[in-house]
Structure 1
Amino acid sequence: MTVNSMNCVCNVQLDTQLWSNTMMKAALLILTVSISTGVIANSEFTQLDTNNDGAISLSESKANPSVMAQFKDLDTDNNGRLSKSEYSHFVKK
């Protein structure tokens, strides 16, 4: 193997390692943001669910005008209450 060939192999290996490290950092950042968003969403849900029944009623949603304005669209099962799952769709918007 010539010196130029060895340099080329080393550069490819370094590029691969750099790319791998960059992808790992990106994956960790995405995971961190996802967890943070979930924690924030849960905290906001808990604040709106003032009677602690595990759902947000239309009356409780009045504390957040944006949630109230979208309540009917978010209440996908039309039971007049937003579950954590239904509320999570609001948070993602």
Structure 2
Amino acid sequence: LRELGAVRQHEAPRAANLFWEPTMRLKLDVHAAMPSNEELSWLEQFILLVGDESRMSPDVAAATISEDRRVTLRRLASQVQSMATEVSRLPTFRRKFEATLADL
């Protein structure tokens, strides 16, 4: 996400249309935030621990990140977590397959 690659709308898979815009917006937001490696480590743990800073490893939790930057990083984490929630709400292939078989 940090690198602005050559991914364009016409190269996106059609099945991912639901997530194209949020992903591209997140990519641009991460690029605009220009996080340092320390901030990326903090963001990674913040996302994986679903915002529970008390469970972060001590070296990452003690990072010297200003409150303004933490607000920006929390906003990015919120975007990632909302995308993860949307993905988890999609029906799985197995459920769709079983529903199709039941309809036959």
Question: Aligning the two structures, in what range does the TM-score lie when normalised by the shorter sequence?
Answer: 0.3 to 0.5
**TM-score, length of structure 2 as denominator length:** 0.32
- Greater RCO, CA 8 A, separation 6+: 2
Structure with the largest fraction of strand: 1
